[in-house]
Amino acid sequence: MAKVLTPRAENYAQWYNDLVIKADLAENSAVRGCMVIKPYGYAIWERLQAELDRMFKESGHVNAYFPLFIPKSFFSREAEHVEGFAKECAVVTHYRLTKDLENGGLKVDPSAKLEEELIVRPTSETIIWNTYRNWIQSYRDLPLLINQWANVVRWEMRTRLFLRTAEFLWQEGHTAHETKEEAIEETLKILDIYSDFAENFLAIPVIKGRKTETERFAGALDTFCIEALMQDGKALQAGTSHFLGQNFAKAFDVTFTSREGKLEHVWATSWGVSTRLMGALVMAHSDDNGLVLPPTLAPHQVVIVPIYRSPEEYAATVDMAHKIGTDLKKMGIRVKIDDRDTQKPGWKFAEYELKGVPLRIAIGPRDLQNGTVELARRDTLTKETTSMDALHTQIPELLESIQKQIFIKAKTFRESHIYQIDTWPEFLEAIEKGGFISAHWDGTPETEKMIQEETKATIRCIPLNGIEEKGTCVRSGKLSNQRVLFARAY
Amino acid sequence: MAKVLTPRAENYAQWYNDLVIKADLAENSAVRGCMVIKPYGYAIWERLQAELDRMFKESGHVNAYFPLFIPKSFFSREAEHVEGFAKECAVVTHYRLTKDLENGGLKVDPSAKLEEELIVRPTSETIIWNTYRNWIQSYRDLPLLINQWANVVRWEMRTRLFLRTAEFLWQEGHTAHETKEEAIEETLKILDIYSDFAENFLAIPVIKGRKTETERFAGALDTFCIEALMQDGKALQAGTSHFLGQNFAKAFDVTFTSREGKLEHVWATSWGVSTRLMGALVMAHSDDNGLVLPPTLAPHQVVIVPIYRSPEEYAATVDMAHKIGTDLKKMGIRVKIDDRDTQKPGWKFAEYELKGVPLRIAIGPRDLQNGTVELARRDTLTKETTSMDALHTQIPELLESIQKQIFIKAKTFRESHIYQIDTWPEFLEAIEKGGFISAHWDGTPETEKMIQEETKATIRCIPLNGIEEKGTCVRSGKLSNQRVLFARAY
């Protein structure tokens, strides 16, 4: 069978696009920059969402839903927020269409102009803090630990499926606290949840860190992030958690009576991950044959394919496929039995490789005689013949092992792509190879900007586990106290 | 304690609004017509959503996600659809804001005008059928059984929390089929799922029926619905399932090669329920003390309240509350233990009555001596003293019994509010009392309209289980073959 994907080595960006489309994850829609998430892609997103939702609830958070639209004036309230978010956005100006008698079709009814334009939310801090004003009076109303699953819109000019789309799906947490310390603690607790989720569920190793002032969320006092490395050596920000201080409480006048009876402004955090994680998932693990999915996320963990030539062989192998499938399903394993006789086994093998199903069981007539099956692993592309009787112990073990192996592989790749660099010529050379560069930086936005302009590398984060170490900035030669991570990024 | 709700008998509409707000289900937002769904209300919606999603998946449907925006021209494609949906809607005309140097704040950037305006989806038939064109080539690609959970916007002038809001949450199913028969079968299968869900999960009895041509979904050949009766005698449409024929396939040129090798247009259905169901839930079961929730939906099925006067009594009763709570949780029951010492038991009792928690367990010092608890039912407001040891059998039985009783109560109410009416004076009298009127109608839109104008009653549906019966139209006196159901409706 001809390869359906452009090989990674030939054109990584094209490989990614091919894969997202051919594996039925998503496609572009008739609306510029907006994607359609196809059923297979959405099934993966649903699993991701369910697990993260479980983790949020377990840590005391609840869900709610706030309006899609935000009055234009709300954005002007927080001085930095407006700079970051009120630019490229979808603006609703009218509320009615009417027949276009001149040109046919429909036109905007000029008499239905809104008094104040509405913005389709790019993020919901403003509308939520405007709402919190009425929910918070006393310290007894705190903390408020609320999350929202929603669609948001940012009018991106250059879009790429999952990685950067005008509309995307995400969760946004917005919490309110009595004290600064408690809000910072929440910010970091969420960062830990994100990191735990990325590593143990998505099998993507991440580095926890703090953003520089330049890269901070508009309106935050501090932004923390998890950064992942893709196979092409580019970094991807996989989640952010912001300490907002009292900025939004002040902008929207949200105060509470403290335990000491004083009126104080509330402390805030916000945090989010999005369908961008789907892009990270694809790029972290997949290969030239298609998706490689961690078993935790795979809509089907095992696919069973019968191999046959005659109608009798079809009947017998399909029968066994269902028998094995039923047993595995009873164990809680997600199994697909592909007993279609409209497609050949070879076609099916390629299809499930493309779709990233972690394990494939093939059953032929000889297997029936021998009590065996052919068991293939998607991650290593290895095959073995194994006894049918051993499947009920082997399959769960293998799924667990694949989950671990995928993570280890990604982690090994990342570890071998972190370069400790101390001179500018070395930096320039290393950045072309891809990967993270751990280097000293003088702490100024000016140097940060200069490096970005010269190399397209940004400071991904100041790692939280970094060791204090005196040094000199790789670009300016000025004094520095800690290494930071540079990379080109998605 | 003073009643927090306006009594139903005094002002039903006000009672509803009081209840939705005081029970923390939802509230109005700063954006006209858009609501905030508060955590308690959203927790109920999540349970509702999870169950319906399970039912859809069990019947072979999968989820996907389509764009929020629809190009204006798409609405003009289907002649009837445009009449129904392209009127009051949110229109995005620009994609950028810029600083307003004259007046301060922000203004719409006139240079960022979209070539074609985008409509925030009021329903997604058009964008989805435009997408399906590329997904369907052969009969092998059919059926497509896809559902979407999404927010939609219809610019309503008079809004009421949950019942009619500009933005609301819903699911919309959009299926594609080879034959007319299969599409009709799907339409009715979904109607059965909705009916089963309403009756067995929401405990709301519904009547399955067909809409008249006037009440049909814009673009459908046939619309089926489930109709429920609220406590004030008004009907509420709780879900609709549409047979769309080949209308959208023709409008968006979606064809397939049939088994016979001929090129044919695809047959379609669409169907949906929305956050409106939350309104139905409130109005079907609740009383002057607050919400009455079916145990299936209640975020907390049991609340445990310790009763104490001294710190020693507090410690002992709270300890027992946790012991009992832990045991019940192990059985899969959703339990809340309210051990706060900042609120009095009386306050807590009223609070959980308001919030509709099906069962309340109170434990006082005497109970500890006697090995008893006080067990109160929310639906009947009855209390009994019962042995602690009996709880593990009694609680599950009671929850099941409450679920049934709530349904029976609502069904009894409905049955006693269906009036068989044969003369116009009787009709005029009956419609003032509220309830469904089963009467003959001549089948013409003219008479239907006349009746609506004279009485504000609409034909809710032509019941599917109706018996053919010759008669004369209650208004025109012309011949009729079946009774239909009239009511004033939400």
| Residues B84-124: tens digit of each pLDDT | 776 899 999 999 999 888 888 899 999 999 999 999 999 99
Same domain (yes/no): A327, A387? yes
- Residue A50's nearest CA partner among A164, A171, A146 is A171
Preferred mutation among B42, B61, B78, B97 to probe A, highest tally of A CBs within 10 A = B97
Same domain (yes/no): A62, A154? yes
Query: What's the average model confidence in pLDDT over A107-128?
Result: 96
Token pair in block for residue B205: 């009895």
In Å, how far from its chain's centre is CA B310? 46
Give the distance from residue A213's alpha carbon to the nearest chain B alpha carbon, in angstroms.
Answer: 23
pLDDT (0 to 100) of residue B103: 86
Nearest residue of chain B to residue A69 (CA atoms)? B31
Show which of A285, A314, A347 is a domain's final residue.
Answer: A285
Same domain (yes/no): B257, B351? no
pLDDT in tens, chain B (490 residues): 456 899 999 999 999 999 999 999 999 999 999 999 999 999 999 999 999 999 999 999 999 999 999 999 998 888 777 777 768 999 999 999 998 888 888 999 999 999 999 999 999 999 999 999 999 999 999 999 999 999 999 998 889 999 999 999 999 999 999 999 999 999 999 999 999 999 999 999 999 999 999 999 999 999 999 999 999 999 999 999 999 999 999 999 999 999 999 999 999 999 999 999 999 999 999 999 999 999 999 999 999 999 999 999 999 999 999 999 999 999 999 999 999 998 999 999 999 999 999 999 999 999 999 999 999 999 999 999 999 999 999 999 999 999 999 999 999 999 999 999 999 999 999 999 999 999 999 999 999 999 999 999 999 999 999 888 999 999 999 999 999 999 999 9
Average model confidence (pLDDT) across chain A? 96
Query: What's the average model confidence in pLDDT over A149-173?
Result: 96
Tokens 């919901």 found at:
A124
Tally of domains within chain B: 3
Same domain (yes/no): A211, A356? no
Same domain (yes/no): B369, B276? no
Nearest residue of chain A to residue B65 (CA atoms)? A37
Q: What pLDDT band is residue A104 in, cutting at 50, 70 and 90? A: confident
User: Has residue A140 got a pLDDT over 90?
Assistant: yes
Task: Identify whether the C-beta of residue B5 lies closer than 8 Å to the C-beta of residue B15.
Answer: yes
Radius of gyration of chain B (CA): 26
User: Has residue A488 got a pLDDT over 70?
Assistant: yes
Segment (H or E) for B200:
helix B180-200
Give the distance from residue B87's alpha carbon to the nearest chain A alpha carbon, in angstroms.
Answer: 5
Give the distance from residue A264's alpha carbon to the nearest chain B alpha carbon, in angstroms.
Answer: 21
Strands (DSSP E) contained in A291-330 are 302-306
Token pair in block for residue B180: 């007319």
- Which chain A residues are closer than 8 Å to B93 by Cβ? 91-94, 108
Strands (DSSP E) contained in B235-334 are 235-245, 255-257, 263-265, 267-274, 302-306
Residue-wise pLDDT for A243-273, tens only, equals 999 999 999 999 999 999 999 999 999 999 9
In whole angstroms, what is the distance from residue A69 CA to residue A127 CA? Answer: 8
Residue A101 lies in a domain: no
- Which chain A residues are closer than 8 Å to B351 by Cβ? none
Query: Who among B68, B71, B150 is closest to A153 (CB)?
Result: B68
Give the distance from residue A304's alpha carbon to the nearest chain B alpha carbon, in angstroms.
Answer: 19
The amino acid at B383: K
Q: String of b and e for B83-113 (b: at least 16 CB within 10 Å)?
A: ebbbbbbbbbbbbbbeeeeeeeebbbbeebe
Residue B292 lies in a domain: no
Give the distance from residue B31's alpha carbon to the nearest chain A alpha carbon, in angstroms.
Answer: 7
Same domain (yes/no): A351, A206? no
The amino acid at A315: A
Same domain (yes/no): A252, A318? no
Interchain CB distance below 8 Å, B69 and A167:
yes
- Which chain B residues are closer than 8 Å to A162 by Cβ? none
Task: Identify whether the C-beta of residue A411 lies closer than 8 Å to the C-beta of residue A205.
Answer: yes
pLDDT (0 to 100) of residue B1: 45
Residue A471 lies in a domain: yes
Q: With 0-12 CB in 10 A as exposed, 13-18 as middle and 19+ as buried, what is B234? A: middle
What is the pTM assigned to this prediction? 0.96
Same domain (yes/no): A269, A307? no
pLDDT (0 to 100) of residue A142: 97
Residue B254 lies in a domain: yes
Residue B40 lies in a domain: yes
Nearest residue of chain A to residue B152 (CA atoms)? A68
Interchain CB distance below 8 Å, B106 and A73:
yes
pLDDT (0 to 100) of residue A1: 45
Nearest residue of chain B to residue A24 (CA atoms)? B135
In whole angstroms, what is the distance from residue A160 CA to residue A107 CA? Answer: 31
HSE of A120, CA atoms in CB hemisphere, 13 A: 32
Residue-wise pLDDT for B278-319, tens only, equals 999 999 999 999 999 999 999 999 999 999 999 999 999 999
Preferred mutation among A92, A99, A155 to probe B, highest tally of B CBs within 10 A = A92
Residue B102 lies in a domain: no
Same domain (yes/no): B464, B424? yes
Show which of B228, B257, B285 is a domain's final residue.
Answer: B285
Same domain (yes/no): A238, A375? no
> What's the ipTM?
0.96
- Which chain B residues are closer than 8 Å to A119 by Cβ? 97
Interchain CB distance below 8 Å, B93 and A108:
yes
| CATH code, B268 | 3.30.930.10
Interchain CB distance below 8 Å, B94 and A96:
no
Which residue range is the domain that position A321 belongs to?
302-399
In whole angstroms, what is the distance from residue A162 CA to residue A19 CA? Answer: 12
Q: What pLDDT band is residue A77 in, cutting at 50, 70 and 90? A: confident
Torsion A195-A200-A204-A205 (CA) sign: positive
Interchain CB distance below 8 Å, A34 and B67:
yes
Same domain (yes/no): B66, B149? yes
Q: Which range is least confidently modeled, A157-161, A461-465, B272-276?
A: A157-161
DSSP SS3 for B440: strand
Nearest residue of chain B to residue A342 (CA atoms)? B140
| CATH code, A432 | 3.30.110.30
Task: Identify whether the C-beta of residue A265 lies closer than 8 Å to the C-beta of residue A254.
Answer: yes
pLDDT (0 to 100) of residue A78: 80
Interchain CB distance below 8 Å, A106 and B62:
no
| CATH code, B352 | 3.40.50.800
Show which of A285, A314, A334 is a domain's final residue.
Answer: A285
In whole angstroms, what is the distance from residue A248 CA to residue B159 CA? Answer: 29
Q: How far apart are the first and last CA of chain B?
A: 32
- Chain A and chain B share a number of CB contacts under 8 A equal to 184
Preferred mutation among A69, A75, A76, A343 to probe B, highest tally of B CBs within 10 A = A69
Token pair in block for residue B137: 């080539």
Residue-wise pLDDT for A201-232, tens only, equals 999 999 999 999 999 999 999 999 999 999 99
Residue A215 lies in a domain: yes
Residue-wise pLDDT for A324-367, tens only, equals 999 999 999 999 999 999 899 999 999 999 999 999 999 999 99
Residue B482 lies in a domain: yes
Same domain (yes/no): B271, B211? yes
Q: Which value, to the nearest 10 degrees, does the dihedral of the CA atoms of residues B204, B208, B212, B218 take?
A: 70
Give the distance from residue B162's alpha carbon to the nearest chain A alpha carbon, in angstroms.
Answer: 12
- Which chain B residues are closer than 8 Å to A140 by Cβ? 342
